[in-house]
Amino acid sequence: MKKNSSEETANRTWVPILALDLHYEYLNELKAVFADMKKVNKISAQFTWNEKDLKIEERIKDEVVLITDLDLKIVFASNGIKRMTGYQEEEVLGKTPKMFQGPATSQSVLEEIKEAIKLKVPFKKTIENYKKDGRTYKCSVDATPVYNLKGKISHFIAFEKEDKSA
């Protein structure tokens, strides 16, 4: 015996669609990466450097990207800065990375970083930094000077991530 359509409808179990809920967070992260890349591309165009050589697009998904001017003032911080430090981008712009340092920060590592910056050479270091709430964290920093198309340094860029193994 064939059921009519109203009986079929009455016997169905309705289940809410959760797929959008599951992917909403991922969508927001993806939008943040695109927004970050748009800002980086704007800086790149303004100062005529080729960010493709730096592989920013590949690294910005998993690492915090900080770009400073030659005075080491932060001109860009990717959205990941909030997750790692507790600070919003607006709170760090115009400040130097010293804002993340404190009593537990190794002075010898700081001296090595200062020397690399002075010599304008890339460096990789792990440093004890401070979050907005005062907690410390180990930060792996991979930094390099950024050259414009005329071969002059216009910025420094750092790729950072919390080192949870230390």
Domains defined along the chain, listed by start: 12-162 (3.30.450.20)
Span 146-164, pLDDT tens digits: 888 888 898 999 999 999 8
Among 82, 97, 91, 90, smallest CA distance to 29 is for 82
The span from the CA of 7 to the CA of 98, in Å, is 70
Q: Nearest-5° angle of CA 31, CA 75, CA 28?
A: 10
Q: Is the pLDDT of residue 53 over 70?
A: no
3-state secondary structure of 83: helix
Task: Look over the chain and give the mean of its residue pLDDT values, rounded to a whole number.
Answer: 83
Span 106-137, pLDDT tens digits: 999 999 999 999 999 999 999 999 999 999 99
Residue 45 half-sphere exposure toward CB, CA atoms < 13 A: 6
Q: Which helix (H) or strand (E) holds 75?
A: strand 74-77
**pLDDT grade, residue 11 (50/70/90)?**
low
Q: What pLDDT sits at residue 44?
A: 73
Q: What pLDDT sits at residue 165?
A: 78
